[in-house]
Structure 1
Amino acid sequence: MGLTLLAPIGSALALLFAALLARKVLKAPEGTDLMKKISLAVRKGANAYLKRQYIGVILFFAVIFVVLMVLAFMGYLTMFVPFAFITGGFFSGLSGFIGMKIATAANARTANAARGSLNSGLRIAFSSGAVMGFVVVGLGLLDISFWYFFLKFWYSDPAHLAVAAGQTFQEAQIQAITSAMLTFGMGASSMALFARVGGGIFTKAADVGADLVGKVEVGIPEDDPRNPAVIADNVGDNVGDVAGMGADLYESYVGSIISTAALAVAAGFGFKGVTIPMVMASIGIIASIIGTFFVSTKEGATQKNLLFALRRGTWISGAIIAVAAFPLIYFGLGKENIGFFFAVLSGLLAGILIGITTEYYTSDTYRPTKKLSSTSLTGPATTIIGGLSLGMLSTVLPVVIVGISVLVSYTVSGGSGSIGDPSFNQGLYGVGLSAVGMLSTLGITLATDAYGPVADNAGGIAEMAGLGEEVRKRTDALDSLGNTTAATGKGFAIGSAALTALTLIASFIAEVQVIDPDFKFELSIINPPVLIGLFVGGVLPFLFAALTMDAVGRAAQSIVVEVRRQFKEIKGLMEGKADPDYAACVDICTKSAQKEMILPAIIAVVSPIVVGLLLGVNGICGMLAGATVSGFILAVMMANAGGAWDNAKKYIESGAHGGKGSDAHKAAVVGDTVGDPFKDTSGPSINILIKLLSMVSIVFAGVIMAFHLF
């Protein structure tokens, strides 16, 4: 077992640290009775939404479980796959649920801490985000460790293992282990899809509805307690950007580790190659824990100071991984394979650079967003045009960064030759390690992202509870920082999704070769199944984005109608003499989200099966390649355009171009309203789509090879 034991140890450390942080957050005082009341309303709304969502998810998982059991009995899968599917989905959902519970408990506590100092507010919000981060990596590594050790024990019995001609028992054993483990990522991917799409529809329907009526039509401030949709908006921040983001990155984290393990076997590294990504993830947990102690700031800090406070923690964690990876590769794989160390560095550097480019295009500290804010001076139309242009332009650098990272990782790892050659698989293993390197410090990276919704909620509570100008100034600073970290977090999520998707495509090819070692791939672009697959894969992210955008639009219309009704029918609401019916808006968002997420989820799961049965393995490869390329670019464009529109609005609210209430501000609100579903629903959901397509293809590879038409 040796070094592999570090995986469950790392998992236990992460969960223990998350528990200590949660205890610290929950011990902090919530503040006034009004603050407690508002926080309780947000908590109840979030719990009600997740309860209804999990009922639908359980039904979906039950159906897929039965389908997988049938395939297992028919011999197309091992009997472990249906159960691994359930555990993958369960731990993914559990990580999001725990993170959301702490986030909804931390909002009032953050606002109350901000009454004392800016640093106190930052520490509470960041600690609650860190609970999300460490629960994700802890549960992810726990699931991987359980299945690895269980399967290793099961396949240690020669009666349970078929050894092919020319294959040693150990080679057959590790191949059986990784082949089975590879398929349980489908459960995590499926859960992530529901969490991201459903949560994204909820949060943006509430946000758009609240802004259109509250800020544009009625002219009241953001987070004004008179707005009937304000609680639903705060609920949405948690179910979409905490539970949804947690499930999303859980999937990337688990997917990168298990796909890299499978590629290690294909490259001929056996058990020692499988050990490396698991141990690196464990070291990443320790590095992330150390990094959290360096996050602090001083009173009166600027946005650059606050951002540096968070960045300092992530950079220190990354530096620790960079140092630790060298002896791990040197002694684990031998000095002749030290090139894999540079592949890890490539992934780490790519993650940092993608974060920096995202920050440049979305933060109001830099020229692009400041320039976008000036387009609001001439109305909503030029604001929309400017935001779309910025989003499209922002795709260039991330594509270049990921492209260079893949090329460097493949080359320094000794990659060469054609599909199936040992050196080719060795290069792909290097690409997998670069993805693991990028995600190794996910504990602290996700903490900086999940921090954002807590800070946003804290600002809303400070406004609704009337905590005063100084407190609101501090929570606004924390909220503005949260917008930037959320945008860079989405950039990181998209970049890691692209690298993970690439390793999953390679793992699909490796899985096909396990099923049929004599299978010959024909991946020429002029091969009709490949070409058709490319087109189908290329259009899937656009179809998915269209469905989710339309879903937000329909749900938001329902909220707009409800908010208008309440302003019209509840006498004294505008004067602050009567309370709005917050629960009605929460209920509308919940029902809409559950209904609207069904079709996108079905398309994501069914598409690779249909394409595979029609076009075969070569068509599937084309589809996965097309979806990864177009999905990565579209997700970056939507996330960055949405982030820039949001921060351009906030830049104007800080006093630029006439400030709040000016014509420029109204135009910026329209831009932000369009950008909301871009950055928080459709863009992030595409991450999951491109990974889920690969996961479904891997699970159903045996069926596709047996029954395809072409």
Structure 2
Amino acid sequence: MSSNIPMIFWLVPAAALIALGFARYFFVRMKRQSEGSETMRTIAGHVRKGAMAYLRQQYKIVGIVFLVLCAFFAVLAYGFGVQNPWVPFAFLTGGFFSGLAGYIGMKTATYASARTAQAASESLDRGLKVAFRSGAVMGLVVVGLGLLDISAWYLALEWFYDDVATTQKLVIITTTMLTFGMGASTQALFARVGGGIYTKAADVGADLVGKVEAGIPEDDPRNPATIADNVGDNVGDVAGMGADLYESYCGSILATAALGASAFAIAPEMQLKAVLAPMLIAAVGILLSIIGIYLVKTKEGATMKSLLKALGLGVNTSSVLIAAATFVILWLLGLENWVGISFSVISGLVAGIIIGQSTEYYTSQSYKPTRKVAESSKTGPATVIISGIGLGMLSTAVPVITIAAAIVLAFLCAIHFDVANMLTAQNLSLGLYGIGIAAVGMLSTLGITLATDAYGPIADNAGGNAEMSGLGPEVRKRTDALDALGNTTAATGKGFAIGSAALTALALMASYLEEIKIGLQHIGVKTIEVLGRAVPVETATLPDFMEYYQVNLMNPKVLIGVFIGSMMAFVFCGLTMNAVGRAAQSMVEEVRRQFREIKGILTGEATPDYARCVAISTKGAQREMLLPSILAIVAPVVTGIVFGVAGVLGLLVGGLGAGFVLAIFMANSGGAWDNAKKYIEEGNLGGKGSDAHKATVVGDTVGDPFKDTSGPSLNILIKLMSMVAIVMAGLTVAYSIL
């Protein structure tokens, strides 16, 4: 086997181990920091205990779902012969590593919050470094485990298929590896939906009863829901986001590798290079992300713009370095058209930066859009809602145009700008490879971009710990600054995740047709008839399959699929929004009950029953997450059985188009409402307790499920439907009704 593995490949598992080594180093350094006073340690312990209890319960339910799905795949593979026999095992490993990444990241975050608060009592820079490098544990664990899983599967399949012809072997290996993305997607969806429902049920309960009705601060220890709220920040924005981006990261690399194996099948000397290119770009991106992490620092008394600049220095430096390194990697690899494909990578990188900057502009209180939302509070909560919705709708323009430009540039760069022949079979395959590698470029610096996102809930919890522990106003000022920065980085991270999901989903759609080819071979189909001629399945091109299955806008099966896919985005959001509403209602009733029945809570003479609120959020999240998650898995299967390949492609197109725009709208509206509230709490427009503040609290309450439950879950829905379609391709071609 070793003779078939080029030496340069070993950079991939080496980079994965380096990432995990630095993650451990940052974790150990964080644990050595002081956790502060006894009160601070006690509060952090409650949050940690609640978070781990939630994860244990979630993993039990997800484990049952995984076993059922694994048994189903085994029946399809070994009973009906319409499934790749590796799928059950690949599915399990994808889900396991996705869940493990979320678990490690959340464990780190729950240890880091009190330490960040204590560090902030010493200086703003120390607080920023502790929080950010703790967030970097999440980022490095995701990329480290992702590349380790990919490397292990590549080596195992390379050994197993040692006797297959080289060009065919790489197609089999890459399409087989692609299937473990469904395990990662399924785990990510449960983590995102369950975590989002948990955190927003607690947050809405804490805000509506604590802030609006009782008039006490957000993180006041007298609020029974405050511990559940802090737990929710971790299970939703750390474990959920980590599992989400793990899936995007692996999905983009694997889809691009599969497209490369297909696009360069006619040039065996280039095929292996095309398969290894996305893995090597991701590996070098890990090393450059670590450099960027060390660049993040600030000075005492820094403004919001200064703090954003500090984070931007690390992210942008890593991005510039990976852009330059890409040319070197592809040149050393000797990939055909390495210059053009390098520019495809850069188009993805630049698109990620532009989407991040656009999100920051629309959601940070440092800029006009969010301040206008805050100013609309002068006339009450209704105008806050209207203003936030309008802002969210307008904010979709820049990301959509950016992704469109990135797709066009990535495609054209990969085919030498041969516009006249861009839809020939070979150019189409090369162009789609360019789009896939653009997604890899966007995610190549995930080690640091995810660190900026995981930083947010750590800083939020640090502020909560400082409030509940009664730390001085100077400390609260610093933690508030870190928390406000975290709101913006969280919103930016969501925009980045949504953008990467769009490019990844597009690459997965192209890979779906490759899986159709494998599915036809599984059921013994040797040739297909295309325009009156018999074409061998093994050599059929993407246009051949599009023609064979009549994938065009005049085919009603395609149009029906488009409508169903678009509907899925809205139904999914409706289910998750209503789930938050029901869970939040239970929380509001419980907080009111405690204020009413436990005498002395509001005077500080009695301790609220925090555990009861944690239990309510946990139970509500576990109950409510099942239906939307299962619907996302069932929809592509049923569509494939009824409407066949054409219907599934329509479903994926509709889901991607509607889901992408809707996710941006919801994330940016929610982020703007949240930071409009923060802007007023800084002392503007009347400050805390004013009518304007109460109006923005209502806006933030509406925005919570927008930005932390439904919006972020949509990008997983888009990818999960693609992954399910890929895994079920064999069933679709064998048993479709129409």
Q: TM-score when scaled to structure 1?
A: 0.98
- Cα distance per residue 1:22-53 (max 9 Å; x no partner): 00000001000000000000000001100100
Q: Tell whether the 8 Å contact from 2:337 to 2:414 is kept in structure 1 after alignment.
A: no
Letter in 2 for 1:171: T
- Aligned CA distance change for structure 1 residues 707 and 335 (closer, same or farther; 3 Å): closer
Matched residue SS, 2:337 = helix
| Residue matched to 1:444 | 448
| Residue matched to 1:526 | 554
- Cα distance per residue 1:650-677 (max 9 Å; x no partner): 0011111111111111000000000000
- Cα distance per residue 1:338-359 (max 9 Å; x no partner): 2101100100000000000000
| Residue matched to 2:57 | 52
The structural deviation recorded for 1:447 is 0.3
| Residue matched to 1:380 | 381
The structural deviation recorded for 1:420 is 7.7
| Residue matched to 1:254 | 250
- 1:194 and 2:200 are equivalent in the alignment: no
Letter in 2 for 1:104: T
The structural deviation recorded for 1:330 is 2.3
| Residue matched to 2:523 | none
Letter in 2 for 1:245: M
How many residues of Structure 1 are paired with residues of Structure 2 in the alignment?
A: 700
**Larger displacement relative to structure 2 (481-490 or 334-343):** 334-343
- 1:89 and 2:85 are equivalent in the alignment: no
Q: Tell whether the 8 Å contact from 1:494 to 1:635 is kept in structure 2 after alignment.
A: yes
Matched residue SS, 2:600 = coil
User: Aligned Cα RMSD in Å?
Assistant: 1.1
Matched residue SS, 1:93 = helix
- 1:709 and 2:737 are equivalent in the alignment: yes
Identity %: 60
Letter in 2 for 1:442: L
Q: Tell whether the 8 Å contact from 1:273 to 1:333 is kept in structure 2 after alignment.
A: no
Cα distance in 2 between the residues matched to 1:97 and 1:468: 33
- 1:431 and 2:432 are equivalent in the alignment: no
- Cα distance per residue 1:298-324 (max 9 Å; x no partner): 101111111111111111111111111
- 1:585 and 2:589 are equivalent in the alignment: no
**Larger displacement relative to structure 2 (323-332 or 529-538):** 323-332
| Residue matched to 1:154 | 160
- 1:23 and 2:23 are equivalent in the alignment: no
Cα distance in 1 between the residues matched to 2:335 and 2:184: 33
**Larger displacement relative to structure 2 (88-97 or 71-80):** 71-80
Q: Tell whether the 8 Å contact from 2:273 to 2:335 is kept in structure 1 after alignment.
A: no
Q: Tell whether the 8 Å contact from 2:175 to 2:514 is kept in structure 1 after alignment.
A: no
- Cα distance per residue 1:63-92 (max 9 Å; x no partner): 011011111102222221101100000000
Alignment of 1:470-619 (within 5 A): 470-516=474-520, 517=537, 519=545, 520-619=548-647
Q: Tell whether the 8 Å contact from 1:266 to 1:422 is kept in structure 2 after alignment.
A: no
| Residue matched to 1:145 | 151
| Residue matched to 1:287 | 288
**Larger displacement relative to structure 2 (544-553 or 318-327):** 318-327
Q: Tell whether the 8 Å contact from 1:25 to 1:124 is kept in structure 2 after alignment.
A: yes
Letter in 2 for 1:192: A
| Residue matched to 1:166 | none
- Aligned CA distance change for structure 1 residues 334 and 573 (closer, same or farther; 3 Å): closer
Cα distance in 1 between the residues matched to 2:682 and 2:193: 32
Gaps of at least 5 residues in structure 1 are: 162-168
| Residue matched to 1:65 | 70
| Residue matched to 1:367 | 368
The structural deviation recorded for 1:514 is 3.7
- Cα distance per residue 1:507-558 (max 9 Å; x no partner): 1022213434254242211210000000000110100000000000000000
| Residue matched to 1:223 | 219
- 1:669 and 2:674 are equivalent in the alignment: no
**Larger displacement relative to structure 2 (200-209 or 509-518):** 509-518
- 1:179 and 2:175 are equivalent in the alignment: yes
| Residue matched to 1:645 | 673
Alignment of 1:83-122 (within 5 A): 83-122=89-128
The structural deviation recorded for 1:331 is 3.1
| Residue matched to 1:203 | 199
> Alignment partner for residue 44 of structure 2, among 14, 21, 39?
39
Cα distance in 2 between the residues matched to 1:249 and 1:275: 21
Cα distance in 2 between the residues matched to 1:586 and 1:700: 38
> Alignment partner for residue 14 of structure 2, among 9, 22, 34?
9
Cα distance in 1 between the residues matched to 2:550 and 2:85: 31
| Residue matched to 1:164 | none
Q: Tell whether the 8 Å contact from 2:83 to 2:519 is kept in structure 1 after alignment.
A: no
| Residue matched to 2:718 | 690
> Alignment partner for residue 234 of structure 2, among 214, 227, 238?
238
Cα distance in 1 between the residues matched to 2:113 and 2:463: 8
- 1:462 and 2:473 are equivalent in the alignment: no
- Cα distance per residue 1:230-280 (max 9 Å; x no partner): 000000000000000000000000000000000001101421101000011
**Larger displacement relative to structure 2 (70-79 or 588-597):** 70-79
| Residue matched to 1:165 | none
Q: Tell whether the 8 Å contact from 2:359 to 2:668 is kept in structure 1 after alignment.
A: yes
Matched residue SS, 2:603 = coil
Alignment of 1:370-409 (within 5 A): 370-409=371-410
- Cα distance per residue 1:165-207 (max 9 Å; x no partner): xxxx111111110111111100000000010000000000000
The structural deviation recorded for 1:418 is 7.6
Cα distance in 2 between the residues matched to 1:406 and 1:297: 36
- 1:633 and 2:661 are equivalent in the alignment: yes
